[in-house]
Amino acid sequence: MTLSGRFVLLLALGVVPIVWFGPSSEQASGVLFLWLLFVLALGGVDLALAASPRAVTVERMLPSRVRLGESVTSELYLTNTGRRRLIAVVRDAWQPSAGAGRNRSRVTIPRGERRLVSLTLTPFRRGERRVEQVTVRTRGPLGLMNRQATLNAPGRIRVLPPFHARKHLPSRIARLKELDGRTSVMVRGQGTEFDSLREYVRGDDVRSIDWRATARRNDVMVRTWRPERDRRVVILLDTGRTSAARVDNEPRLDTAFEAALLLAALTSVAGDRVDFLAFDRRVRGRVQGASGAALLSQMVDSMAMIDPELIEMDWAAVPGQVRSITSQHALVVVLTSIDAAGASTGLLAVLPQLTKRHTVVVASTLDPATVLAAATRGGRDEIYRAAAAERALLDVARVSAAIRQLGADVVTASPSQLPPALADRYIALKAAGKL
Amino acid sequence: MSVTLTTDAATPGRNSGGSSGGGVPTTVATPTLRALLRRSSFWILAFAGIVIVAIVGVLVSGGSHAAGRALAGDNAAPAGSMALAEVLRQQGVTVTLADSLVEVRDAVGPDSTVLLYDANGYLDGDQLAELAARAARTVVVAPDFLALQALAPTVGFGGVSAASSLQADCSLPAANRAEELLPGGDTLSIPQGGHPLLTGCFASSTDTFSLVQVENATTGGLVSLVPDARVFNNENVTGYGNAALALGLLGESDSLVWYLPTLADLPRTGPPSLAELTPGWVSPVAVLLVLAAVAAAFWRGRRFGPLVAENLPVTVKASETMEGRARLYARSNARLRALDALRVGAVQRLARAVGLGRLAQLEEVIGTVAQITGSDPNEVRRVLVNANPHSDAQLMALSDALQALEQAAGRAVMAGAVPAAEAAASASREFSPPPAERMDP
């Protein structure tokens, strides 16, 4: 039961009769008493005539998933199972980050009928956004009193990572195609596979002339090459505590998602097999054996539910996890953060085990604020800040050098540049036949 | 949010009664009033029990509240006089308790006795005179100066009695029956040689007495002045001859008016109060507006369903360690340490700019940089290695010098006047033409 603004207004209107009929204190008090009785009686009648909010059946229709930044429509069907006409305000209690905006709506449902309440959701956080309850506040015919009840109507919608980096995909696919023998530009590496023979045209690399074929035919023949296919790529995501830190107002984990998705999309186009693993002390997400469109949808699906865990990454378990995915040679992409030498000892300790079998690329975001701070030398405080930034960059450089010394490759870039940089590195590795 | 009318055919599920098909009955999270009462019955009962106990307690102890007025006829505390009043009632005297002169006027008869105890001095001279004129006998307990002026101008204050015992020693029958009085109280003084209308009893010295009776020459009314109030109170009335004196003075007639003046006796002065100036409806309107405000608070304060909980992500900026280290440098004035960090970064950038490898020796870098920028190697060495800043100004100057050196080297390399650098570069690393082979741009 709740009061409405009309009730308060009606109560306050009692000033008029009290002033009108009450020159003396006793008369005015009597009028006040009578007015209170009148208002309470009216309110009681209104409350008794209000439809029961409990006699409402709620059904919910929701799309199961939405990409972050896009909008969906949530549909709520309300059936009035009571005996009275229901005039109500309905609140669909979504979590704030579901982006429901103003989630109250007025409905009038005659007895036994059904109405649809639709709400546009624009979630602004990744993960699972939930709604548990619907609150119905009905009012009486006079609008003085309300009845209110909260109904259980659970619903959930999975908000997938946005994959903004897909804008880089067409250009990278084009570069990937250039590696193939189909275009005129020949790029040749050691590990590339023999594709076909064709006639020599000016500009071809003379080293690729196939003399035997030339002898068989009366024309100069050259070999064309194409990159290897069906290689394995393992994307390993560090979801430990360092992945929670924000760089450019984006958690490192989300940047890693973008990079992983772009790499996976590119890899599946190139014909390689991708396995995805999100790990800190236990497996948070795993996608294995998928390809094509299913790969990306499975990856975003598993990524949607991954949040940074505030625990230390268990690097010692990483080689075992990689071994459980593949025993062949593979490209292992480790998406983590490279900070001070002390924080990276775990990674450095297990890298030799990985590089012995696999080609390893360690990718990390570099804070553009640090780079900017190192170059800003205005006053005393800024110089100390520049010194600290320089020190941080030196730490990163030192750890990167150590990683390179252990036989792995390092990619560091700002959050917006990391996904294309990683994709470029993949293309370069593929061109060099190092997969 | 929008609301749409739906028809039965177009909607999923069914809507007939909500009990079959897709109509899974929706459970209600809000408890009904009955369930709420049942759940909170313990607290309701506990609260009711406390209220009942409190009411009963007040009712039981209500008769004997200790904070009554001194010498009041209905006060059973040691300072009250309920004992005296009750004894007089048992003797057949009609005791009327009065709080104001108006009540006294109603109650007093031609043969009444009035007991007056005006501890706060509420009555003025005219009121005292009127009182003494109305009653046949007036007993004034602990009279103040104004009372003496109005009733017996010749009587003065005698100070505290120094006598060890107070004997009656006079012609008044009540005093004679009492024989002895509680010593050590206030006294009144009578002029030397006496006065025909004054009778003093219980003398402490030749002219100070603990009871003075004044006879009005015109009306014949008697005014008894008892300066010591302790004679009448519950605590002391049983000692010495106190009770005999009190009963003798007060029980002379069938009717006794027990008068303790209150604020109601004060003559009203000053401007009229706010309540008299404002119309009668002001207070009820104020009450109504307060009630409306309370109702408005309920209206606005009622929550539209429960709050929705959501786990929020941690917000940690990655650059916080960098900022913290900068503040540590600044607070401890670690100038050399800060400058060394800047120098190491600058040396690496310089080495890259002039085409030396990452593993180039420091002396090599200094020499090359000095050569291509055309500056003194010692000056370059001072900026890059030797100088030790002793103040923030020196630190800033060295930082600026580092930047200037980097810019000069960059300009020199850009200008192309770098034969030495090219020679150094070709010496330090091999030229690798195929772009596909280059892994580390």
CA–CA separation, B107 and B95 (whole Å): 10
- In one-letter notation, the amino acid at residue A108 is T
CA–CA separation, A238 and A334 (whole Å): 7
Which is higher by pLDDT, B337 or B121?
B337
Please tell me the CATH code under which domain A56-160 is placed.
2.60.40.10
Per-residue pLDDT band at B238 (split at 50, 70, 90): confident
Instruction: Give the residue on A whose Cα is nearest the Cα of B16.
Output: A112
CA–CA separation, A218 and A214 (whole Å): 6
**Exposure letters B116-155 (e unless 16+ CB within 10 A, then b):** bbbeeebbeeebbeebbebbbbbbbbbbeeebbebbbeeb
Question: Minimal CA–CA distance to A148: which of B19, B17, B298, B310?
Answer: B298
- CB of B394 less than 8 A from some CB of A: no
B305–A135 CB contact, under 8 Å: yes
Residue A180's pLDDT is 67
Domain spans of chain A, in order of start: 56-160, 181-226, 232-431
- CB of A104 less than 8 A from some CB of B: yes
Residues of chain A with pLDDT under 50: 182-187, 189-191
Q: Which residues of A touch B26 (CB under 8 A)?
A: 56-58, 151-153
Q: Give yes or no for residue B425 having a pLDDT over 50.
A: no
B26–A153 CB contact, under 8 Å: yes
Given this structure, which CATH class describes domain A232-431? alpha beta
B326–A104 CB contact, under 8 Å: no
Instruction: Give the residue on A whose Cα is nearest the Cα of B283.
Output: A25
Instruction: Give A116's strand partners.
Output: A77, B4
Q: Which residues of A touch B16 (CB under 8 A)?
A: 112
- Dump pLDDT digits (tens) for B284-333: 899 999 999 999 999 999 999 899 988 888 788 888 889 999 999 999 99
* Helix extents (H) in A282-367: 293-304, 318-325, 345-357
- CB of A58 less than 8 A from some CB of B: yes
Structure tokens at B24: 């899974």
Contact A298, A265 (CB under 8 A): no
Q: Which residues of B touch A308 (CB under 8 A)?
A: 313-314
Residue B67's pLDDT is 59
A114–B8 CB contact, under 8 Å: yes
Helix axes B320-332, A368-375, angle to 10 degrees: 30
H or E segment and range at residue B345: helix B335-353
Among A residues 380-399, those touching chain B with beta carbons less than 8 Å apart: 380-381, 383-394, 397
Q: What is the DSSP string of B264-281?
A: GGSPP-SSPPHHHHS-TT
Residue A353's pLDDT is 93
Most B CBs within 10 Å, among A31, A144, A383, A409, to test the B interface = A383
Q: How far is CA B166 from CA A359, B21, B181, B186, in A?
A: 123, 107, 5, 12
Among A residues 195-224, those touching chain B with beta carbons less than 8 Å apart: none
Domain spans of chain B, in order of start: 82-265, 332-428
Residue A89's pLDDT is 94
- CB of B280 less than 8 A from some CB of A: yes
Residue A271's pLDDT is 86
A12–B288 CB contact, under 8 Å: yes
A388–B329 CB contact, under 8 Å: yes
CA–CA separation, B255 and B89 (whole Å): 10
Question: Minimal CA–CA distance to A109: which of B11, B19, B32?
Answer: B11
- Which of A79-83, B22-26, B138-142 is least confident? B22-26
A29–B285 CB contact, under 8 Å: no
B3–A5 CB contact, under 8 Å: no
* B153 CB-near residues (< 8 Å, 6+ apart): none
Per-residue pLDDT band at B1 (split at 50, 70, 90): low
Q: Which residues of A touch B296 (CB under 8 A)?
A: 5, 8
Residue B17's pLDDT is 35
Per-residue pLDDT band at B5 (split at 50, 70, 90): low
Among B residues 283-322, those touching chain A with beta carbons less than 8 Å apart: 283-285, 287-289, 291-292, 295-296, 298-299, 302, 304-306, 308-310, 313-319, 321-322
Which is higher by pLDDT, A120 or B189?
A120
- Which of A397-406, B17-26, B115-124, B210-219 is least confident? B17-26
By residue count, chain B amounts to 441
- SS3 category, A57: strand
- CB of B63 less than 8 A from some CB of A: no
- In one-letter notation, the amino acid at residue A394 is L
CA–CA separation, A281 and B391 (whole Å): 49
What is the pTM assigned to this prediction? 0.68
Mean pLDDT score, B11-23? 38
To the nearest whole Å, the CA of A354 is away from the closest chain B CA by 19
Per-residue pLDDT band at B81 (split at 50, 70, 90): confident
Question: Minimal CA–CA distance to A364: which of A385, A350, A349, A343?
Answer: A343
B281–A397 CB contact, under 8 Å: no
**Mean pLDDT, all residues of chain B:** 80
Instruction: Give the residue on B whose Cα is nearest the Cα of A340.
Output: B321
Q: Which residues of A touch B302 (CB under 8 A)?
A: 2-3, 148
By residue count, chain A amounts to 435
Return the number of other C-beta atoms located less than 10 Å from residue B36's C-beta: 11
Residue B62's pLDDT is 63
- Dump pLDDT digits (tens) for B358-415: 778 888 889 998 988 888 889 999 999 888 999 999 999 999 999 999 999 989 888 8
Instruction: Give the residue on A whose Cα is nearest the Cα of B324.
Output: A388
Neighbour order of strands in the sheet with A250-251: A250-251, A245-247, B316-317
Among A residues 270-299, those touching chain B with beta carbons less than 8 Å apart: none
Q: Which backbone phi and psi does A278 adopt, to 5 degrees? A: -110, 125
A81–B289 CB contact, under 8 Å: no
Q: Which residues of A touch B304 (CB under 8 A)?
A: 89, 91, 104, 135, 137, 148
Most B CBs within 10 Å, among A384, A410, A430, to test the B interface = A384
CA–CA separation, A198 and A214 (whole Å): 10
Among B residues 417-436, those touching chain A with beta carbons less than 8 Å apart: 436
Q: Which residues of B touch A337 (CB under 8 A)?
A: 318
CA–CA separation, A346 and A313 (whole Å): 8
* A388 CB-near residues (< 8 Å, 6+ apart): A373, B322, B323, B325, B326, B329, B338, B341
Q: Which residues of A touch B395 (CB under 8 A)?
A: 380, 383
Structure tokens at B126: 């005219």
- In one-letter notation, the amino acid at residue A113 is E
Helix axes B82-90, B242-250, angle to 10 degrees: 60
What percentage of chain B exceeds 70 in pLDDT? 86
CA–CA separation, B187 and B140 (whole Å): 13
Q: Which residues of A touch B339 (CB under 8 A)?
A: 387
CB pairs under 8 A between A and B: 275
Contact A159, A68 (CB under 8 A): yes
Residue B63's pLDDT is 54
Residue B435's pLDDT is 38
